[in-house]
Amino acid sequence: MNSPGRGENGDLEDLIRLAGRGDREAFKTIVSLHQQQVFLLAYSLLRNRDDAMDIVQETFLRLYQKLGEYQMGKSFCGWLLQIAKNLSIDFYRRHYSRDREARTDGSLEELARARSKEDAGMTPSSDVSRAISRSLEKLGERQRMVFIMKHYNGFDYREIAEVLAVRPGTVKSLHFKAVRNLRRLLGPQLGMET
């Protein structure tokens, strides 16, 4: 995946300063560098491509309005994804039905049963990768976000903790639970013991 990586250096801060002064190209560079990360986070929460794209656009609009509030030296990516996360959650609460929200907050078994019903009319897939995608969707909201940010965005626990506004110890615990639950969900398909 095209990721700018975790290192945030003076170049990025220069871009932020220029964008803050109205430099269009500098702002566009920031967008180009981070839009996929924002998309991945939004998609991990909303699981809908078009909704995630809307969140990406809204996130950068908010970013531009808040550039003057960014504190140099702090994690820009963490700050940006925090904006994206809050917008995604607001979007989810406004647009998604109550039952889906209930399912997201429910147990993994309930989620699995609900997903099985949804998948009943679909062609069964033996593709392990597809199974992993499905399993990720069945994780709880915070577990899924932690897993996506850790393994697809390449964030460390400290950065994820900034985005989620929790302690790194909580991130570690959520990560552990996410992997454990993925193993339970995927174990049979992968021929693993659970």
Residues 6+ apart with CB under 8 A from 34: 4, 77, 80
Q: Does 190 bind other proteins (CB under 8 A)?
A: yes
Query: Which listed residue (4, 8, 39, 82) binds other proteins by CB under 8 A?
Result: 39
Query: Which listed residue (5, 21, 71, 121) binds other proteins by CB under 8 A?
Result: 21
Residue 49 burial by CB count (10 A; 0-12/13-18/19+): exposed, middle or buried? Answer: exposed
Q: How many residues are present in the chain?
A: 194
CB of 148 to other proteins, least distance (A): 9
Separation in Å, CA 38 to CA 9, 79, 86, 90: 19, 11, 12, 15
The contact pattern for other proteins, residues 149-188, with x = CB under 8 A and - = no contact, is -xxx---xx--------------xx-xx--xx-xx--x--
| Angle (CA) 58 157 20, round 5° | 35
At residue 116, the 3 state secondary structure works out as helix
Q: Does 147 bind other proteins (CB under 8 A)?
A: yes
At residue 131, the 3 state secondary structure works out as helix
The contact pattern for other proteins, residues 65-104, with x = CB under 8 A and - = no contact, is xxxxx-----------------------------------
Residue type, 104: T
Site residues for other proteins per CB under 8 A: 1-2, 19-22, 24, 27-28, 31-32, 35-36, 39-40, 43, 49, 53, 56-57, 60-61, 64-69, 127-130, 132-133, 136, 147, 150-152, 156-157, 172-173, 175-176, 179-180, 182-183, 186, 190, 192-193
